[in-house]
Amino acid sequence: MTTASSHRERADVTGGDGEPPKTVLGKVGLILGAFRDNDFSLSLTELTARTGVAKATVHRLCQELVAGELLEREGSHYRLGLQLYEIGLRAPRQRTLREAARPVIENLAQSLDNAITLSVPNASELLCIENVGGHRNRARASLGGRHMQLHSTAAGKLTLAMLPDQYPLPALVPLMLRRTPRTLTAAQLPDELARIREQGYATEIEEHRPGYLAVAVPVRGSDHPYAGALSVIAPTAGSNIARLLVALTTASHTITSRLTVFEAYRAPL
């Protein structure tokens, strides 16, 4: 999803009037959420501008976050701290899914010689939690921890199709960016999502990046009809979508079986 959607979501949480939250926790959330996918570090001025919180308050809270190892300071800039990464890895649903899926994804990436991603719904966005392998043309999928585009990727379109209530199209349409000449328009998207729901998988051919295609299938859990999207990114030239779909579907079934066992094992008695 785009950065604009992230800011819109934070505005909704804080009341929708564009005013920063009055609680300390709300302001901390804005500071941590100000870091975007491609940001290595941000200055105090940048954090102030992105959050709308008073500069003195941002400075004070950043100092406290540094002390708590949630942020790190590098000169006049701040970056996300390792403690946040460690906390994120403890999220039970995603951790269980990653543990169940990791060996299956590694085998799949090796057998297909392509990049494989595993993405999960995260509020109004889609978060890539696993990315394994780089294929022969060195294409890169979204790095783990990055947000996936919803309208132009196979994993994103699959998620839109499977979770229409969580991802309403009216909220997405104003944020749709035309990545390539083949990126779907807002008028084309509803029919595409209906087709995906009917066939149970999603594809995209050069809608996100010229020269590459992707196929995505759902991963299910015992209590999650749609736990996430398993996808493969491959060069358009020389790729066989039917072959990729068979391999992905087999891997997805294996992950689902493993996830069911993992969830049962970790369920409270």
* Contact call for residues 125 and 147 (beta carbons, < 8 A): yes
In the chain, domain spans: 3-87, 91-266
> What's the burial of 58, exposed, middle or buried (CB within 10 Å: 0-12/13-18/19+)?
buried
Q: Which of 89, 100, 94, 83 is nearest to 121 (CA)?
A: 94
For the segment 30-50, the average pLDDT, to the nearest whole number, is: 86
Give the predicted TM-score (pTM) of the model.
Answer: 0.70
DSSP assigned state of 173: G
* Contact call for residues 58 and 52 (beta carbons, < 8 A): no
79-128 per-position pLDDT tens digit = 988 777 667 666 555 678 888 899 999 999 999 999 999 999 887 888 88
Architecture of the domain delimited by 91-266 = 2-Layer Sandwich (3.30)
Q: Is 3-87 CATH 1.10.10.10?
A: yes
240-265 per-position pLDDT tens digit = 999 999 999 999 999 999 888 877 76
Same CATH topology for 3-87 and 91-266: the answer is no
